Amino acid sequence: MSKFIQLANQTDESVDIYIYGDIVPYAWWEGDVSAQTIKSTIENLNVKEINVHLNSYGGDVFTGIAIYNLLKNHPAKVNVYVDSCACSIASVIAMAGDKIYMPKNTFMMIHNCWTYAEGNSKELRKQADDLDKIMTASIESYLSKIKITKEELIKLLDEETWLTAEECVQLGFADEVIELNNKNVAQQSLAISKLLQKLKKMELAMPIKQPEEQEKEEKKQFKTIFLEKMIGGK
C-alpha cells in the first residue's frame, strides 16, 4: 500500500480512503495521488463499502479518469464525501460514487481541460482539437451521474463554474447535503438502513407461532435496538 494514501476505520464491512492532494501521473510528494497508488490500495480490499474522502484542486486528466474507472469498477459500494473541495478532475473522480455526500460548506469546480502549447498555427489548431477530444472523457463521466443535459453541462464547463453543495445536489453532481449541525447524518442514514434490514431478517426468521408474551418481548427488544442505533448513529 502506498504511503501517500491514508486508510482509516477499516473493518470487514467498510474502509475510509482519503484523497487529499494533487492528482498526478507519479506520486513523488506526500499528498500526491496517482492511479497506481489507488490501484495498489483498493485492488485487494475485500469490503462491502469504500468511503472516499476528497479534498483536491485536481490535476492530471488521464490520471483522474483512471482513478474514476478504478473506483467505478470495484465491486464494493463507493460513497464519496467531499470534505472541502473537489475541483477540476477531482470532481470527475467524485462522479465514481454510488452516493456523493457534501457538507453544506463544501464546493465543486468544473471546467474544460487545458494545457501549455507551442508551435506553428497548424500545431496549435491541432492542440485545440485534441483538447476538445480529450474533454469528452470528463463529459461522459459527468453525464453518467448528473441530471442536466449535455448542452447545459458544456455551458457550465465553458464558464469554469463553482458549485455549492446545494447546487451540486440540484444539478445531480451530488446526492445529499450534510447539514453542519449533524456531522454524522450520512453515516447514521447508512447505519439505520442496515439495521432495518437486519431487523427485517430477524423478524422473518421468527417462528410463525409463539407465546404471546415472548412475541411482545422480542418486538420490544427490536424497538429498543432500533432507537438506540438511530440516536447513537453507530
Read off the pLDDT band of 218 (50, 70, 90): low
Residue 38 lies in a domain: yes
Read off the pLDDT band of 117 (50, 70, 90): confident
Same domain, yes or no, for 27 and 109? yes
Say what percent of the chain tops pLDDT 90: 60
Same domain, yes or no, for 193 and 174? no
Measured distance CA(48)–CA(79) in Å, rounded: 11
Same domain, yes or no, for 152 and 208? no
Cβ neighbour number for residue 106 with a 10 Å cutoff: 22
Beta bridge partners, 52, equal 17, 80
* Average of per-residue pLDDT across 84-106: 97
Number of domains in the chain: 2
**Which structural domain, as residue segments, surrounds residue 145?**
6-182
* Average of per-residue pLDDT across 27-48: 89
Measured distance CA(167)–CA(69) in Å, rounded: 25
Q: What grid cell was written down for 83? A: 470534505
Q: Which stretches within 109-163 are classed as H helix? A: 121-143, 150-158
Q: What grid cell was written down for 96? A: 465514481
Asked which of 166, 182, 198 is the last residue of a domain, the reply is 182
pLDDT at 5 over 70: no
pTM, entire model: 0.74
